[in-house]
Amino acid sequence: MIRERLTAQLLAGTPARSATEVAARLLAVQAQDPRGARLAVRARSAGVTAADVDRALTVDRSLVVSWLNRGTLHLVRREDYGWLHALLTPPLRAGSARRLAQTGVAPAAADRAVAVIERSLSEDGPLTRLQLRERIARDGVPVAGQALVHLLFLASLRGVAVRGPMAGREQAYALTRAWLGAPAPVERDRALAELARRYLAGHGPSSDRDLARWAGLPLRDAHRGLSAIAGELRERPDGLTDLARRPAAAALPRPRLLGAFEPVLLGWRSREAILDGHDAAIVTGGLFRPFALVRGRAVASWRIAGGAVELQPFAQLSQGDVTELLADGDRVMRFLALGRGGGAASIAPPGRDSSAGRAHD
């Protein structure tokens, strides 16, 4: 099963040739950590750099980031944004109102803030988070603490704003209709069928519960989507479901480094197949640290320290594995355009917890 899922995820077999091709296969790439999203693209593609991802967001407008699956930021293709937004955001609205109330923002004030965001982006957008904060505050709406992010979240749920172009190292907000065009009508049953089909393309073999959890939808919706494409599916002896026309699984990939909030850990209810009992080394309090993958298993955490990648193994590594991972560390630095003047990739001394740093250090 691991080889099949890694192949579906583009971590094994023929790599993608662009960031949009990666997003097309995975449908939605976890993106609350910007560097992690770019490293997810790197691990699944060839000849692509972080600058190419930024170009797709800023110039081509072929990719956008928005709160979608489970109310979490995801990187998606522009042509997938509309139907995913229509399908996945309605269940998030009650929680949004509750969190705004907890931050001291009354419903009328929240409506005013969304109106400010829409007007500002229409007249002067795209704008950064700080620029929007100043405009919302001038209208008398609370923005302290978590209030601002929940107001931006509300504007996203209402289809007003989307994270579009890069403004330096920050992703600015754009008016959705101006950045992506007018939304097309979405027929819910067709959208559920497409969700099931595309989810399996990048995550099969899986179960209905895996799909429901990944999308943040009720199990009945997962059943409905899978039932709509029943003729395209095959049921496996292990009880999982997959696309009937799935190409053969590729060989396990060579050792490589994966980023924070890596999609291969977030696409199913269980992460055991990859983490193999090492959850505590990678997942803490909702934070998913970067890790090294060797023969389909997590074997080390890593970070960028002193201008180079530093590994912290928690499983036995051969010298060949170490050599390949350190070489991949150099490729990570080049991908991120951080390699100039940096040191060589290294292994942290025993007992030093390099995984304690933030995932995007």
Confidence of residue 280 (pLDDT cuts 50, 70, 90): very high
Question: How do beta strands 308-313 and 346-347 pair?
Answer: parallel
266-279 confidence digits (pLDDT tens): 999 999 999 999 99
Residue 134 token pair: 């100043």
Q: How confident is the model at residue 360 (pLDDT cuts 50, 70, 90)?
A: very low
Q: How many Cβ atoms sit within 10 Å of the Cβ of residue 84?
A: 23
Global confidence as pTM: 0.93
Confidence band for 352, pLDDT divided at 50, 70 and 90: low
Cα separation, 361 vs 309, in Å, equals: 11
Q: Are 44 and 5 in contact (CB under 8 A)?
A: no
Structure tokens at 259: 């980023």
Domain residue ranges of the chain, discontinuous segments joined by +? 92-158, 188-243, 256-356
- For every residue of 168-197, DSSP letters joined together read TTEEEEEEHHHHH-SPPP--HHHHHHHHHH
Which CATH number does the domain 188-243 belong to among 3.40.1530.20, 3.40.50.2300, 1.10.10.10, 3.30.470.10? Answer: 1.10.10.10
Residue 359 has pLDDT above 60, yes or no: no
| pLDDT, mean of residues 229-251 | 96
Residue 156 pLDDT: 98
